[in-house]
Amino acid sequence: MIDQVCTKNKDQGMKNQQLEQKICSYLETCNTISLATTVGSIPHAASVFYVNIGFNLYFLSNPKSRHGENLLQNPTVSGTINEDYSNWLQIKGIQLEGRVECIGGILKNARVVKAYVKKFPNVADFLISPHKLGKKIAQKVSKVKFYQIWPVKIYFLDNSLGFGHKEELEIL
């Protein structure tokens, strides 16, 4: 009986490891998350570019944006990451639940800036030298902050394995 439990836990650990790898690979290949925020009973969704470091996602936004203001009142979010499919049998994607926190400006987050520029090289001037893009852009960039999403649950959907196939990863 003890051997069965150990084998079961070992098998579960292997499955979790494979799922974690699948999720990280998918996060790295996609660029945007549709982020859902709420205040009271009013939902709002916004698509933002993100970079991931492990399961944590980082995005840039103006705190005065609608989702930025929503996050001040309610940091709990959900989100979806997926490609645009024309055949429902090919659908793959991520659904997640978590919390978001503003982690400050560009100058305070060198590690995130480096990861962001690596993934999106065309934003290097925007993040590192906004003055090169003109005074108006530089003023807007000065208001932009990084936000971090800490997922607590991630669901990986893969219809190629069967309609509605979904695997859940709980992050402790």
**Which CATH number do you get for residue 88?**
2.30.110.10
Q: Measured between alpha carbons, how far is 108 from 136 in angstroms, rounded to an integer?
A: 22
In this prediction, residue 105 carries a pLDDT of 84
Cα angle 131, 133, 137 (rounded to 5 degrees) comes to 80
Average pLDDT, the chain: 88
Question: Domain total for the chain?
Answer: 1
Q: 78-95: per-residue pLDDT in tens?
A: 999 999 889 988 899 999
Q: What is the DSSP letter of 62?
A: -
> Range of 99's domain?
2-170
**CB-based contact 65:147 (threshold 8 Å):** no
Band of residue 7 on the pLDDT scale cut at 50, 70, 90: very low
- Cα dihedral across residues 81, 83, 84, 85: positive or negative: negative
> Which of 120 and 9 is assigned the larger pLDDT?
120
